[in-house]
Structure 1
Amino acid sequence: MLRMLRNHFIAVWVGLLFVFPHATIHAQETSRTSLKSYLIELEKQHDIKFSYVDEDLEGVEVAIPADLSLDLVLEALETQTQIKIRKINERYYSLVKNTLVSVCGKVLDNFAENTVPGATVEVMDSDIALVTDINGRFRIDQVPRNATLKVRFLGYITKYMPVENLVASGDCHEILLAQNYERLEEVIVYEFLTSGIVKEEDASITLNTGELGILPGLIEPDVLQTIQALPGIKSIDETVSDINVRGGTNDQNLILWNGIKMYQSGHFFGLISAFNPYLTDQVTVYKNGTPARYGDGVSSVISMWTKNEIDGQFFGGAGFNLISGDVYGQFPLNDRMAFQLSARRSTTDFLNTPTYSIFTDRAFQDSEVINQQNQSVDREFDRDITFFFWDVSGKFLYDINDDHKLRLSFIGIDNDLLFKETDRETNVTSQSFLDQTNISAGLQLQSRWTDRLSSNLNAYYTQYQLEALGVSPEPRQQLEQRNRIIESSIKFDTEYRLAETLKWRNGYQFIETGIRNFTDVTLPPFDSNIKGVVRLHAPYTEVLYRSPEDKFIASAGLRANYIINLAQFGESFEELLFEPRLNLNVRVANYLRAEVLGEFKSQYTNQVIDLEQNFLGVEKRRWILSDEDQLPITKSKQGSIGLNYAKNSIYVGLEAFYKQVDGISTLTQGFQNENQFDGEIGSYEVKGLEFLVNKKGENYSTWLSYTYNKNDYTFEDIDPSSFPNNLDVRHTVTVATTYDINNLKLGLGLNYRTGKPYTAPDEDDPLNATAFPNEINYQLPNSSRLPEYFRLDASGTYHFDISRRIKANAGISLLNLTNRENVLNRYYRISDEGEVEQVNNVSLGLTPNVSFRVRF
């Protein structure tokens, strides 16, 4: 045994004697030492001198193999340190630190087991950037020595490294990226249809315009067109200025831009949104369960906000299509101030494109701009039509400090129509015009007082005016009309976090709204000038609760509206209304959540349609105030229950709702029968169902939506008292798909809906010739229906880089691919010959549009 142990000991000892010298030699060749110390050794060995700046060599280490000649040693030093060594004479050398160096690296995961190909390596504060190769390697030459590298890859934590630490020396340096682990929570917000459209936990829909993908028929993110892709939201007449949410009229929508109420929302008299989408950052749509801070708008709230953060970077863009051109940008003034500006103008007054021609036929049909037969007048009259629009908006952003932010906003919107007509026989020329303008300004002050308490102050002034002058040459008659609104408001609200799961919001809003309606007719002489002012005092409170792990999310609020009408004529009145709001969201199973929503709301501004020839027959609606005589305050109550299921790439949503709206008038509902001018007061009731299923893949999205509405009027003074609503479209179906191929985005969608009701004349006895003037004998109200509506839309955009800073995209869209003539509205009137004639308002035909945009 002892002999065996002795033999093992001798073997180990001999092995150590054999290995140790080699290990020592290897260590001597590869051990690292400071460059300063190594230069001192070289000076002693070769009787030479080095001159250098001490700071240049601070912290620099080298590893030079032994037994090399002086020339090879100096060459190795330059390679490892990228410090230039210049020979002055046989004894003296100088060392100068290079300002530009080469760096080389190999990107690995945190365990140094897997390379990371395709990682982005960027030299900060420069245009230098590349991606790692298939082995995770990269090399960059001519890099400033004092620069910093940024290395990033999806799923890993971004790493920042000084270039000094990566100066190339033989093998590339290994850069380890740590994986970014995130705890996955249950999904309570749902992205559907296309990127950038999200259903939030409070059942509101948010549009993040900067992330919006393509939608069928749209090549630009028109805000008010985009929201019509959502179930329950549509426009019966294909416009953005007449959006119908769950059976309501457009004036029952509260439209806000940077907290300012907007009374004008469209260009081209409703065919195009008036808000620049490229500075609009976020749009939120509430169909029910509205927070207590919002009053007005018994159908919906559409709230738009432009970009609100200062990041110190300039960005902007410009573009054009076959209707208009625009520019926009955000300009940083310093670290705490920036200014936004956008401007758009139509080309319609100097460039006649196919799109403009089709839009013109759609917007001006059945108006004084064209004759009663909806054909251009080219025999008796010569007509010269000039139409253009513009909008401009701006925002000043000032971060007073980290806790207080001031924002000032303004917007101007204008539509101008001018047309001249000359009688060929008499050579008499008359001129008519229409001008629609909205000018608004607002202020927001956002403050955070403590970790628990924050506040927001919002104030605005808005002015809207619709003005028209119509001249009829034979007989010579002049009709002048004005509809003007001046509104100012201030709102202050606070949010206090009572606990981690509980928040309390309180606020107060004051609004003063003045509306003037002026009419002056020369033949026969008639004039009217009606003014009114309403003041609103509205305190509100709301509690928000969020349970641990978000199993139950709830908000309950109450708003009190104290309305004071200061009538010019008749008696003033006051009314106090209480409006409760409820919003519940609960998890009922894995991937399945239920929501229960309810609200009471009211409004005191409405739009009426007096006569078909109002405002040249183009913009027939005018705003009025509730007066408790001809038009009471409009009040609504609504409740809904819904289910949302989302797992992997499939989303399914189902919601049933009930809505009742009281205090409506036949004047505000667009009646076109014997009840059009009577002004009866009534209500409508909507029962509906909204369904959406959406399947999304890596590069595609396809969806099917279906909406059912049963919408009925009740007017006690009309026989029968109950009949279908003018907006009673029972069934609406949308089938659409989008597909991305690299930089190419394509969209195709089909929209179908059943026809809206209308009132037809009596088939046997359509005309009552015994009355003066003659009258039409109608059938029962809304007892007939228009043909079904069918429209197929397509669009495509292509994105490409002009340079590293300038991005571009080109797009083309085709509306109504089948060129189907959809009848949007039908009514009847008595012709000059004394006959009953049918008038059809038809949809857009096949409408092409192209766009080109750049952004930087």
Structure 2
Amino acid sequence: MSKKLLCLIFFILTIYFCSKTHSQEQQEKQSLAHILRDVEEKYNVKFSFETKTIEEIFISPLYPELSLQQAITQLQLVTKLNFKVLNDRFIAITPNNTLDVQNSIQLLEEVVVTNYLTKGLSKTNNGTIEADKKAFEILPGLIEPDVLQIVQNLPGIVSVDERISNINVRGGTNDQNLILYEGIRMYQSGHFFGLISAFNPYLSEGITISKNGTSAKFGNAVSSTIAIQNSDELSLKSSSGIGGNMLSVDGFTKLKLTKKTELQLALRRSFTDVLVSKTYDVYFDRIFRDSEFNTDNNSQLALNERFLFYDINAKFLYNIDNTTKLRVNFLNMYNDLDYKQVYITSENDLQETNSNLKQVSFGTSINYSKLLKPGLNLSSQIYYSNYDLDAKNNNITSNQTLEQENIVEDYGLRIDISNAVNKSLNVNVGYQFNEVGVTDFEDVTNPNFISLKKEIIRTHAIFGEVERYSKSKNTHVRFGARISYFDKLQELFIEPRFAFNQKLSEYFRLEVLGELKSQSISQVIDLQQDFLGVEKRRWQLANDTNNPLIKSQQISAGLSYNQNNLLISFEGYYKNVSNISAQSQGFQNQFQFSNDIGSYTIKGLDFLINKRINNFSTWLSYSFSKNNYHFENLYNGNAFPNTIDLQHVVNTSLTYSMGNFKIGFGINWHSGRPYTEPSITQDQSNFNIEYDTPNNSNLPSYFRTDISAIYNFKLSKGIKANIGASVWNIFNQTNIINRYYSLDEDGSVIKIDNRSLKITPNFSFRLNF
């Protein structure tokens, strides 16, 4: 075992024993959120509240022998909050100085599974999974609530190459996911070219994930929907925080300006351009190991790189009156890589070249909501999203300069009205307009070539859905449809969606979900070496020739058992996605330069068992799937395995919390992804590799073990602190995540293996005040 690993394990143990000395103080008072969760589990009820209402409240634990009514009375006296019992299941919590508009919320979304995997994750009766960052505790390998790392612990969600920017949900490619930040569609999701989430974890508070049965509000993506929200309620008082890890430093503030206004601001910046850490070295090696940085060139004498990233998030909240809200959002994400190469020319002169890669996203939105009357709410939003990927590559060997740029501009408008007819019925209708433009620019010297293309698609969509509970609350149904018209394609597409949840008995539930969806924008790869071989994918709009509108259909059915903190669930699904382009699949075999249209079909099963015992929580998830392509003009029209077909995926973890100390240990395993081997015999005269049957082989299985620990403590009056440590891939397992082949100068076939992250330590320290 390495000295670094021993030191880190010693540090984690030190955190634990330090926490023991503070345990008595922490047992005296607990957060109201923690106590409410205990009451929910004990009495089988659900509290409805805004996070801001309770997050600053700490009280003594309740006596265990209290009845539910006695517990509510005690909570109301101690917290000075309003506890309104709506029925035998729901209890609403509001501040004393808040206008009582619960009459306007007749239908409440019900959480059917609390503490799904870990505290802070919940599953609702419409099939979505929600993450509350305030209640979130710990997941193995994570010391910060990174939203896009959290979702990869859910069954059916995995990244085949460990990149956050390449999350695959039930066999779908990353570009088929709809990622919304405060309603703004995002076309970039990662820093460090995909290894770190680009969304600041300390301002984002809520995440909603939908794998199927998506609400009719959301469109233009055929796989999952991931919606990220910041706090939407005014804080009781101002608060701030600063911190950092081994890659970046950050700070945030929630500044209460007046009784009706608040400004939320978060900034994060890497220090990797001035200080190099062990974590940076591992990340850099993972991303650039097989890019142009490591091309063999005997004339190259030196290479120096400079890399940095930053993000800025801001939100302005204005409560115009008790029934009207205005929200303004802004975000900016930035990645910048510069590197210099020094060569010796044939005349023995030194020559220096500079290359650059930038990835920038900007987004803003304005949201307005109005409670027209009890039960009737109007909301509207306008937003703008911009993504720019820009690269300049100087190639000294060919005396060539290549400039590439891919720009996406997205303008959006949405208006919807929600009407809670009664306690059992809710109706929602709305209209959405989007204009998306994509620009591709390429400038090559020697030979001189310039290309500039811009395409625009305008989409009009109307949507509506009805949500209903039975009188017993045992049955929940949501049915809706989205009708979209794509003007450039002159195509109208109707997308029905439904979610059905039935309580079969005290502990068993049945869930059936289904949807039809469409998508007019996707990512393609022209050449594997585009954008320095680091960000090879570029966005492209659908057209009526070689890139049609992508369409999908999916249905799933699941059964769950939940009793005494034991959850067991099975879910089977069928998913078909048609009109996909071969260029969007990242083929590195005989189909690398093919431009055919086809489909993929995936059939799978997700299984989860989760048990909580006092302060321990452990789970085991297993996913089985079979994912096949079908292209009419590839492989004689026969089916062959999908490039991201992971037939078996296993995730098992154990977390422990005691007071302010939390530790998590987890194991991730999955079968190897498919790849194509070259034929045994090669004709070296044609300078092309001759391949065997497509995706006929599988890489070795992937295995990774992670650990993390966090300790929260009070530094002084009004100042809280936490320290965290983690190790990704404790045993430094060498995992091959991709394999392809190339030709050397002699025409011989050489094998190239992309390897996963090596052992990756990280450390964080934060102050909140």
User: What TM-score do the two structures reach when normalised by structure 1?
Assistant: 0.78
Structure 1 residue aligned with 2:422: 499
Q: Is the 8 Å Cα contact of residues 470 and 480 (structure 1) preserved in structure 2?
A: yes
1:158 to partner: Cα distance: 4.2
| Inter-partner Cα distance in structure 1 for 2:746 and 2:365 | 54
| 1:196 partner letter | G
2:684 matches 1:769 = yes
Partner of 1:381: 301
Residue type of the alignment partner of 2:258: N
Q: Distance in 1 between matches of 2:712 and 2:635?
A: 59
Asked if residue 397 in structure 1 is aligned to residue 307 in structure 2, the reply is no
Of the three residues 183, 186, 189, the one matched with 1:265 is: 189
Tell me the equivalent position of 1:580: 496
3-state SS, counterpart of residue 775 of structure 1:
coil
Which residue is 2:653 aligned to? 736
Distance 2:196 2:123 in 1: 25
In structure 2, the residue matched to 1:417 is 337
CA shift at 1:184, angstroms?
5.7
**1:410-459, Cα deviation, whole Å (9 max, x unpaired):** 00000000001111442111100000000110011121111121011011
Q: For residues 357 and 121 of structure 1, what CA distance do their matches in structure 2 show?
A: 40
- Per the alignment, residue 235 of structure 2 pairs with 311
Cα separation, 2, equivalents of 1:121 and 1:423: 63
Amino acid at match of 2:171: G
1:647 match:
563
CA distance in 1, matches of 2:437, 2:262: 34
Change in CA separation of 1:275 and 1:525 when aligned onto 2, cut-off 3 Å:
same
Deviation at 1:159, TM superposition (A): 6.7
Q: Distance in 2 between matches of 1:153 and 1:378?
A: 70
**Which residue in 2 is equivalent to 1:595?**
511
Matched, 1:724 2:641: yes
RMSD: 2.1
CA deviation after TM superposition for structure 1 residue 363, in Å: 1.0
CA drift at 1:818 = 1.1
CA deviation profile, 1:638-676 (whole Å, cap 9, x unmatched): 000011211121111110000000010110011111211
Output the CA distance in 2 between the equivalents of 1:120 and 1:552: 38
**Matched residue, 2:203:** 279
The 2-side partners of 1:159 and 1:258 are apart by: 33
Give the deviation of 1:587 after TM superposition: 1.1
Q: Does 1:824 align with 2:737?
A: yes
Q: Which has the higher contact order (CA 8 A, sep 6+)?
A: 2
Which secondary structure state, in structure 2, belongs to the residue aligned with residue 290 of structure 1? coil
* 1:407 aligns to 2:327 (yes or no): yes
Cα deviation for residue 628 of structure 1 reads: 2.1
* 1:792 aligns to 2:705 (yes or no): yes
The separation in 1 between residues aligned to 2:659 and 2:279, in whole angstroms, is 29
The alpha-carbon deviation at position 189 of structure 1 amounts to 3.4
1:677 and 2:593 matched: yes
Tell me if 1:812 matches 2:721. Answer: no
Deviation for aligned residue 1:316: 1.7
| 1:312, distance to aligned residue in structure 2 (A) | 3.3
* Counterpart residue identity of residue 769, structure 1: Q
Asked if 1:346 is matched to 2:270, the reply is yes
Code of the residue aligned with 2:137 in structure 1: it is G
Letter of the structure 1 residue corresponding to residue 765 of structure 2: F
Equivalent residue number for residue 130 of structure 2? 206
Q: Which string of whole-angstrom CA distances, capped at 9 and with x for unpartnered residues, describes residues 727-750 of structure 1?
A: 111000111100123322111000
Counterpart residue type for residue 429 of structure 1: E
Unmatched 5+ stretches in structure 1: 1-116, 123-148, 162-177, 566-572
What is the CA distance between 1:311 and its match in structure 2? 2.5
Q: How far is the alpha carbon of 1:118 from its aligned partner? A: 8.3
1:532 equivalent in alignment to 2:455? yes
8 Å Cα contact 2:170-2:602 kept in structure 1: yes
Match of 1:251 among 175, 189, 209: 175
Task: Tell me the equivalent position of 1:547.
Answer: 470
Distance 1:184 1:119, change over 3 A: farther
Unaligned runs of 5+ in 2: 1-25, 32-56, 63-70, 91-109
| Aligned-partner Cα distance in 1 for 2:58–2:646 | 56
Question: Which residue in the other structure is 1:483 paired with?
Answer: 406
Whichever residue aligns with residue 599 of structure 1, its letter is E
Is the Cα–Cα contact under 8 Å of residues 132 and 206 in structure 2 kept in the other structure?
yes
Deviations 1:217-269 (A, max 9, x none): 00001000110000000100001000000000000000000000000010000
Q: Pick from 369, 379, 398: which aligns with 1:446?
A: 369
AA partner of residue 190 (structure 1) = T
- 2:111–2:123 Cα contact (<8 Å) kept: no
Amino acid at match of 1:597: L
Shift in Å at residue 151 of structure 1? 8.0
The letter of the residue matching 1:593 is R
Amino acid across the alignment from 2:326:
L
Is the CA contact (8 Å cut-off) linking 1:152 and 1:159 kept in structure 2? Answer: no
CA distance in 1, matches of 2:579, 2:319: 45
DSSP 3-state at the match of 2:339: strand
1:769, distance to aligned residue in structure 2 (A): 2.9
- The answer on 1:635 being equivalent to 2:548 is no
Query: 2:358 maps to what in 1?
Result: 435
Tell me by how many angstroms 1:474 deviates: 2.0
Q: CA deviation at 1:182?
A: 9.6
* 1:514 equivalenced with 2:437 (yes/no): yes
Contact 1:747–1:796 (8 Å) recurs in 2:
yes
Q: Which residue of 2 aligns with 1:760?
A: 677
Asked whether the equivalents of residues 606 and 624 of structure 2 are also in contact (C-alpha less than 8 Å), the reply is: yes
1:573-616 residue CA offsets vs partner (Å, 9 max, x unmatched): 31000000011001112211101100000001100111121001
- Secondary structure of the equivalent of 1:202? coil
Q: In the alignment, what sits opposite 1:237? A: 161
Q: How does 1:703-718 map to 2 (within 5 A)?
A: 703-718=619-634
Deviations 1:805-835 (A, max 9, x none): 1111111110111111100001111122321
Question: 1:172-211 alignment to 2 at 5 Å?
Answer: 183=88, 188-211=112-135
- Structure-2 separation of matches of 1:851 and 1:120: 26
Distance 2:510 2:715 in 1: 48
Letter in 2 for 1:680: D
Task: Give the Cα separation in 1 of the matches to 2:30 and 2:349.
Answer: 78
| Offset of residue 369 of structure 1 | 2.2
Q: Does 1:468 align with 2:468?
A: no
- What corresponds to 1:694 in structure 2? 610
Give per-residue Cα distances to partners, 1:319-360, cap 9 Å, x unaligned.
Answer: 110000100110000110000000000011011111000000
CA contact (8 A) 2:240 2:253 kept: yes
| Counterpart residue type for residue 483 of structure 2 | A
The whole-number CA distance in structure 2 between the counterparts of 1:445 and 1:841 is 47
Larger Rg: 1
Instruction: State the Cα deviation string for residues 515-566 of structure 1 (Å, max 9, x = none).
Output: 001111112222221110000000011111111231110011010010022x
Question: What secondary structure does 1:210 align onto?
Answer: coil
Q: Quickly say closer, same or farther: Cα 1:121–1:802, change in 2 above 3 A.
A: closer
SS in 2 for 1:619: coil
Which of 291, 298, 303 pairs up with 1:367?
Answer: 291
2 CA distance for matches of 1:201 and 1:500? 16
Secondary structure (helix, strand or coil) at the match of 1:667 reads: helix
For these two proteins, the number of residue pairs brought into alignment is 682
SS in 1 for 2:284: helix
Indicate if the aligned counterparts of 1:150 and 1:160 stay in contact, CA closer than 8 A.
no
